[in-house]
Amino acid sequence: MIHLFIGLLLSSLLGAAELTELSGCVSRDGVAINYYQKDSLKTSGKKILVFGQIHGDEPESGRLAQLWISRLENLSPSNTWRIVPLLNPDGTKLKTRMNANGVDLNRNFPTKDWSDIALKQWEGYHKKNPRRYPGPHGGSEIETRCVMKHIEEFKPDVVVSIHTPYGQLDFDGPRTKHIKMKALPWKRLGTFPGSLGHYLWDERKIPILTIELKPDSLDKYESEFDYLQDQISFLAD
Ligand SMILES: [Zn+2]
């Protein structure tokens, strides 16, 4: 039943775009976490990997991923794109930030400091806020391991992680020209133990752009998000 619900939800949102399975990429409750890919014909193109809805209660983040997929369907891109529009299907069904095990996937990546700091920081700084629970150990969650598998297999030049609701662009990567948008000002927020930004940039030197949408960003400034999509490859230069 859950499979059917998520399947229908995705197919109605994505129209004709075809999604592909990656072995091992299923949620705790067994829902496939599929991806869309469009290859560049140019050998000089960059490889861009996008994750939507890492947090289940941020539907606008999935909407932007789907808008970008629809746009890619109708053009011949200069870069190769892989988009995972719905990384946390169980949390989406439950309308929770966390996955079905109650884990914040964006604190669950097995960074080197995870064992020493992640749980302590959750107990202290986050006062055991269940919305920030990093899990029993780094990489404990199947959805986290799905992200890791995509990174290992696709070898992206730049990663994009889409969230809500803060209204900003947060880039972890080399010094670069800022992307200028009215909808989302450019800010650097830093990373946390177990966060995707820490795992990718601090430990692997893979640049990552975290897009924090506001609830009305897409409706108010939709054309700016075409521009944003077109600027992302420059972050990998
Ligand atoms: Zn989020």
For 101-112, how does the pLDDT look when each residue is reduced to its tens digit (9 = 90+)?
999 999 999 999
**Has residue 3 got a pLDDT over 80?**
no
CA of 188 to the centre of ligand 1 (A): 16
How far is the centre of ligand 1, averaged over its atoms, from the C-alpha of 5 (Å)? 22
Between CA 118 and CA 113 the distance in angstroms is 7
Query: CA-to-CA distance for 78 and 144, rounded, in angstroms?
Result: 29
- 65 Cα: distance to centroid of ligand 1 (angstroms): 14
Distance (angstroms) between ligand 1 centre and the Cα of 55 equals 5
Q: Are strands 208-212 and 168-172 parallel, antiparallel or unpaired?
A: antiparallel
- The rounded Å distance from CA 76 to ligand 1 centre is 30
Confidence of residue 62 (pLDDT cuts 50, 70, 90): very high
pLDDT attached to residue 176: 87
Three-state secondary structure readout of 92-116: HHHCCCCCCCCCCHHHCCCCCCHHH
How many whole angstroms from 16 Cα to the centroid of ligand 1? 27
Q: How far is CA 30 from CA 27, 142, 178, 236, in A?
A: 5, 10, 40, 34
Q: Closest by alpha carbon to 68, among 82, 56, 55?
A: 82
Query: 50 CA distance to ligand 1 centroid (A)?
Result: 14
Q: Residues 204, 207, 208, 209: what is their CA dihedral angle, to the nearest 10 degrees?
A: 170
Report how far ligand 1's centroid is from the alpha carbon of 7 (Å).
Answer: 22
Cα of 130 from ligand 1 centre, angstroms: 14
The residue segments making up the domain with residue 184 are 2-236
Contacts of 111 (CB under 8 A, 6+ apart): 118, 138, 193, 194, 195, 198, 199, 202, 203
| d(CA 168, ligand 1 centre) in Å | 12
Residue 220: which pLDDT band, with cuts at 50, 70 and 90?
A: very high
What is the predicted pLDDT for the residue at 7? 52
3 state DSSP class of 126: coil
Q: What is the overall mean pLDDT for the chain? A: 93
The two tokens of residue 99 are 């996955």
Angle at 204 between CA 33 and CA 187, to 5 degrees: 85
CA 97 – ligand 1 centroid, Å? 7
Whether the pLDDT of residue 11 is over 80: the answer is no
| pLDDT of 9 strictly over 90 | no
Rounded to the nearest whole angstrom, what is the distance from the C-alpha of residue 217 to the centroid of ligand 1? 15
Give the pTM: 0.92
Q: Which residue has the tokens 């795992």?
A: 199
Looking at the structure of the chain, the number of domains it has is 1
Query: Residue 62: which CATH number?
Result: 3.40.630.10
pLDDT at res. 42 = 86
Cα 56 to averaged position of ligand 1 atoms, centre (Å): 8
Other CB atoms within a 10 A radius of the CB of residue 143 amount to 26
Report pLDDT for 2.
52
Find the mean pLDDT for residues 15-35. 93
